[in-house]
Amino acid sequence: MTRAAEANIDGLVGPTHNYAGLSYGNVASEKYAMTVSNPRAAALQGVAKMKFLHDLGIPQLVMPPQPRPNIKTLKRLGYRKLTDVPTELLHQLSSASSMWAANAAMVSASADTNDGKVHFTPANLVSKFHRSIEPAVTAHYLKQIFPGEHFVHHEPLPAHAMFSDEGAANHMRLTEEHGKKGVEVFVYGGASKKYPARQSKQACEAIVRLHELAAERVVLLEQSAEAIDAGVFHNDVIAMSNEQLFIYHEKAYTQIDSRLAGFTNAVIREKDLPLKEAVATYFFNSQIVTLPRGGAVVIAPVECEGNLKAKNCFDRLMREGHIEAVYYLDVRESMKNGGGPACLRLRVVLTEKELESVHKHVWLNDKLYQSLCQWIEKRYRDRIAPDDLRDPMLAKESEDALSELAAILKLSIGQ
Ligand code: SUG
């Protein structure tokens, strides 16, 4: 076995972060639709989370925001200027949704792939228009951040509902420890009554082929319709995992594959945390990480701290020895759009050699943290109402902010 660690790459919140209510089926996005956002606080909350992980000794990377409003798409649709664009489309072209890096791509660790390389497939995100305009720039960023012979970058799957792919938010990896071969678990949605399923089975099967995963170490799970209709639009809203530990809600899936029985399964019962409260608190959208000295801790949304049932579930997991501690972090600005701590990050298991190949200017350290905080303080507004997205100054501010960030991260931003 080669030694490996899990790195997290977090999406930086962009300067146009707003609440336009674009995600039907995502309860928070609908609830906070048309309220006023605070992009500066949102971005600072995001980098504070990255710093917290870094201080725990977890390798932490930064992914830049995508240029918004998306002028390239606006031109592709025949518009010449922002003022000509109808309001709903303007909102879609202005979403800062690339912050949710768990939806950026599916990633397979080199220990699992037949060619011994790390495989990336950017998610096509076809189920929501505002997200379907992310994959090209995501691919551009991932190729720059993970260059060279250790990494394989696939194209996003064809942009059709048949292959609807929302990335790692619907993917888990169970393994004795990060560097060992794992079982990769893909989660898809079937028929639901109220809300649409966002990950298709055929997309999961295509990723398995592309990433050269051995069939005997792949598990596909189907989300229950009841969970989807309760607002479980991604698997990471109802399950979490780390190394050998798999924690899931009893109503998450139609059935569990017997091959998962060899791992530590911790089932959260409806009576202890009803689906509705699991969605409201984002209990499962927590990050479980292995500390460098061993032992696992949880980074949970602060909303869980104030909910007795969620807190009791974490207490039980600690009592049973699955986790050592729970840290409650405030990412409220992102939460109001349905994005908790786990949504904001993409997990990438890296061996020492792979780690050395990563673009070095995106590693979070104390210095980069300071630069990012200063950059955010200087460049971000502290309030945006959906109507402000019409302001031509905002487009200019956003463009200038990203140019400055390109110099900080030494990356080409946009495309
Ligand atoms: O795709 N929200 C995102 C939230 C993604 C959360 N990611 C994970 N669960 N991994 C979505 O629904 C709302 C944007 C708005 O309404 O303006 C939004 O896109």
* Helix intervals (H) in 146-271: 201-210, 225-229
Written as one string, the DSSP assignment of 377-394 is HHH--S-B-GGGGG-HHH
Q: In tens digits, what is the pLDDT along the chain, a chain of 415 residues?
A: 678 999 999 999 999 999 999 999 999 999 999 999 999 999 999 999 999 999 999 999 999 999 999 999 999 999 999 999 999 999 999 999 999 999 999 999 999 999 999 999 999 999 999 999 999 999 999 999 999 999 999 999 999 999 999 999 999 999 999 999 999 999 999 888 899 999 999 999 999 999 999 999 999 999 999 999 999 999 999 999 999 999 999 999 999 999 999 999 999 999 999 999 999 999 999 999 999 999 999 999 999 999 999 999 999 999 999 999 999 999 999 999 999 999 999 999 999 999 999 999 999 999 999 999 999 999 999 999 999 999 999 999 999 999 999 999 999 997 6
- E strands, 213-281, in order: 218-223, 239-242, 245-249, 264-268
Q: Please confirm whether the linkage preceding 392 is cis (ω < 30° from 0).
A: no
Measure the CA–CA gap between 172 and 166, rounded to whole angstroms: 13
Please identify every residue annotated as catalytic.
166, 234, 343
Return the pLDDT at 2.
76
Task: Calculate how far, in angstroms, residue 98's C-alpha sits from the geometric centre of ligand 1.
Answer: 9
What does each C-alpha distance from 407 to 102, 338, 412 come to in angstroms? 25, 31, 9
* Domain spans, the chain: 4-409
pTM to 2 decimal places: 0.98
Scanning the structure block, which residue is given the tokens 């925001």? 65
Query: Is the backbone of residue 24 left (phi > 0), alpha (psi -120 to 50) or beta?
Result: beta
Return the pLDDT at 184.
98
Measure the CA–CA gap between 143 and 154, rounded to whole angstroms: 10
Structure tokens at 148: 């060279």
* 411 ligand 1 Cβ < 6 A: no
Half-sphere exposure of 17 (CA within 13 A, CB side): 33
Burial of residue 358 (CB within 10 Å: 0-12, 13-18, 19+) is buried
Helix (H, G, I), strand (E, B) or coil at 36: coil
* 169 ligand 1 Cβ < 6 A: yes
Task: Calculate how far, in angstroms, residue 196's C-alpha sits from the geometric centre of ligand 1.
Answer: 14
pLDDT tens, residue by residue, 150-196: 999 999 999 999 999 999 999 999 999 999 999 999 999 988 889 99
* 23 ligand 1 Cβ < 6 A: yes
Report the length, in residues, of the chain. 415
Task: Calculate how far, in angstroms, residue 45's C-alpha sits from the geometric centre of ligand 1.
Answer: 17
What residues contact residue 26 under an 8 Å CB cut-off, 6+ apart?
A: 231, 233, 337, 338
* 22 ligand 1 Cβ < 6 A: yes
Measure the CA–CA gap between 239 and 4, rounded to whole angstroms: 24
Measure the CA–CA gap between 340 and 283, rounded to whole angstroms: 9
* 98 ligand 1 Cβ < 6 A: no
* Buried residues in 145-174 as b, exposed as e (16+ CB within 10 A): bbeeebbbbbebbeeeeebbbbbbbbbbbb
* 102 ligand 1 Cβ < 6 A: yes
CA 264 to chain centre: 24
Structure tokens at 226: 């009841």
Scanning the structure block, which residue is given the tokens 């949504």? 343
Task: Calculate how far, in angstroms, residue 4's C-alpha sits from the geometric centre of ligand 1.
Answer: 30
- State the pairing for strand pair 325-329/345-351: unpaired
Pocket test for ligand 1, best of 24, 103, 164, 384 (most atoms within 8 A of CB): 103
**Domain with residues 4-409, CATH architecture:** 5-stranded Propeller (3.75)
Q: Which of 123, 139, 121, 124 is nearest to 63 (CA)?
A: 139
